[in-house]
Chains A and B, each alone.
Chain A
Amino acid sequence: MEALVAIAIGTLTAVGIYLALRMRTFPVIVGLTVLSYAVNLFLFTSGRLTQNRAPIIGTSDVYADPLPQALVLTAIVISFGMTAVIMIMAIGGFLESGHDRVNMADAAGDDETGDAAGEERA
């Protein structure tokens, strides 16, 4: 089981990093999501892999470590929220600029802040 989980985490991490390095926002977001799956799985395994054990003392002779389960729950909620935020920002950026490339090329390089200030003035 260790090998299987390790391969799964490794594959997810590799896929996540590859997608996060893409040129467009959508694959980047998918990549970040996959990366968060990998890290959640990794966090879960930090309490050691066990089968058929309750995370409660007293119900059986040996128990699973409950803390990583609490940690991973927190991490899942946070990464879920973060994905929602970046999704909304990506949609906003797409609607305002008409494309979803991640680079800032059409910001005309040296005009970044001037552009923003100009918009406010207008």
Chain B
Amino acid sequence: MMGHWIIAPVVLPAFVAGVMVLALRSDLLLKRIAGIGSILALNAIALALLWSATIHGPEVYFLGEWPAPFGIVLVLDRLSALMVALLAALALPVVLYAIGSGWDRKGAHFHPLLQFLLMGIGGAFLTGDAFNLFVFFEILLIASYGLMIHGGGSVRTRAGIQYVAFNLVGSSLFLFALALTYGLTGTLNIADLAQKLPTLPEGDAALLRVTAVMMILVFAIKGALVPLQFWLPGTYANAPGVVAAMFAVMTKVGAYAVLRFGAVVFPPELAATGSLLQDLILPAGLVTLALGAIGVLGATTLPRLVAFGGIASMGTAFTAIGAFTPETSSAALYYILHSTLATAAMFLVADLVTRRRAHARLTEVAPPIAQSGLISALFLAGAVAMAGMPPLSGFLGKLLILDAFRTQEALVWTVVLASSFLMILGYARAGSVLFWKATALEVPAGRWPREGLAFSATIALLAGLAGLTVLAGPLTDWLGETAAGLYAPEAYIAAARLGEGG
């Protein structure tokens, strides 16, 4: 049993960020040490939470010892522990890359903002209260606004304003949905909602459907699901590469929330919503996947290409989530693990390229860059992972998803396979334009530092993908049990100990 450790992924980054802002303002070295230390500790805590959730099952943490439906609770179960572990595992290479590439020198507050982002995302994964989810969304968003415009520049700032405006509208929508939920049920505790919604009177069914759709719209904005994906390419392509890599886990917050709400709060058995969410999310996921693949083929710059690759991976994940069965959810979780690391690795590779070159256009043959041999090898590995080719985990992830959709194979298989083909074309084209030269060109030697740390961080992410591939067997068993537990939320509801208090 983890006791107070459940809140550590929220409190630790918040505390470290506060110390950084107040005490370590001007000392970059100390900020770096504090940042790495905090993230290492977060990794250790996340692994302990994962272990505890696996052994002991779901566990609740009452903030301020207020009893459950009235106070705020954090709930640790296998899914939330897994997502926190993924967050921590991604944060370590990202912070190392930021240090190795010198991105954290370009503004005063990179490290504190990263810590606040970790706090917001970790809290969103752990919370057991819908309004608290909104609060953590805002924390992660306000940190992401700062990170997005890190390094400055007029284009980046104005892309940032679009991103903020879009998300503010999304937040308003979330508040409308929460107010409707509270007006209908008188509670915002997720476990309490799961118990109360089936007992709602018949007359409230229409309102409940509106609420469910509004909630899903908000999560779709976070997860960049078509038709709400417009903010993503501009934001990710204009953000610093290392920040875009960290943002790869931010879209997964949307996927996590859809999974949690679709399985626990609005399950397919709920009469009022029924298969409404399936009917909306599954086709939207397929369209997202197709659009992402076309975007990969048509992107004009490398960061945009990776951003569209990220959209395609969210499409794949949402397709699998959208069926709302344990089998597809298990496949979706494996794919989410894979695509977070793969997208982040590709953003880092794109950053390695764009920082060495005056432009990142894919429409014209580019001059050679320093260290192009290693970078092109990394690009190849990342592209193989993103497109879902063997031998890396993208292939296994797609295979699991295809296998889970045996009953709807005509439509889902066609879209997944055709878009994989488009993505292979897109990455191959980008790779040949960027790296492939018919004649040997003079490489400008000595202009660039070796950046061993930055390369190690990128390689570490790709090694994570290899690890996912090697451990696919035990991992899918574990994910299968996680997904089965998600659709039998009795343990989750029992763990929330409604009306008892700490």
Q: Which residues of A are in contact with B by a Cβ distance under 8 Å? A: 16, 20, 25, 28-29, 32, 35-36, 38-40, 42-43, 45-48, 65, 67-68, 71, 74-75, 78-79, 81-82, 85-86, 89-90, 92-93, 96-97, 102, 104, 107, 109-121
Contacts and interface: CB of A to CB of B under 8 A. Distances in A.
A114 B153 CA distance: 12
A28 B142 CA distance: 18
B357 interface: yes
A89 B164 contact: yes
Nearest to A97: B154
Interface stretch (B168-176, B396-404, B416-424, B467-475): B168-176
B179 A39 contact: yes
Contact of A46 (B155, B179, B302): B179
B142 A85 contact: yes
Given A47-B182, A102-B161, A110-B363, 12 more contacts: A32-B169, A38-B172, A39-B176, A39-B179, A45-B183, A67-B182, A71-B179, A102-B162, A113-B302, A114-B301, A117-B357, A121-B358
B275 interface: no
Contacts of B361: 110-111, 114
B360 A117 contact: yes
22 contacts: A35-B168, A39-B175, A40-B175, A42-B176, A47-B183, A71-B131, A82-B171, A86-B161, A92-B152, A93-B160, A102-B161, A104-B158, A104-B162, A107-B158, A112-B301, A113-B237, A113-B303, A114-B358, A117-B357, A117-B358, A117-B359, A117-B360
A49 B132 CA distance: 24
Nearest to A81: B142
A113 B165 contact: no
A112 B172 contact: no
Contact of B175 (A42, A92, A112): A42
B149 interface: yes
Interface string B342-385: 00000000000011011111010000000000000000000000
Given A113-B237, A120-B106, A89 B157 contact: yes
Contacts of B153: 96, 115-116, 119-120
Nearest 6 interchain pairs by C-beta: A114-B359, A96-B154, A46-B183, A46-B179, A97-B154, A110-B300
Q: How large is the interface on B (under 10, 10 to 19, 20 to 34, 35 or more residues)?
A: 35 or more
B175 A85 contact: no
A119 B172 CA distance: 35
B175 A93 contact: no
B481 interface: no
A36 B300 CA distance: 37
Contacts of B31: none
Contacts of B323: none
Contacts, number: 152
B180 interface: yes
Contacts of A113: 237-238, 301-304, 354, 359-360
> Main secondary structure on chain A at its contact with chain B?
helix
B48 interface: no
Contacts of A67: 70, 182
A78 B138 contact: yes
A25 B161 contact: yes
A43 B157 contact: no
Q: Which of A20, A45, A118, A120 has the most CB of B within 10 A?
A: A120
Contacts of B302: 113
B234 interface: yes
A101 B162 CA distance: 11
Contacts of A45: 179, 183
Contact of B169 (A35, A89, A96, A104): A35
A85 B303 CA distance: 26
Contacts of B300: 109-110
A74 B464 CA distance: 39
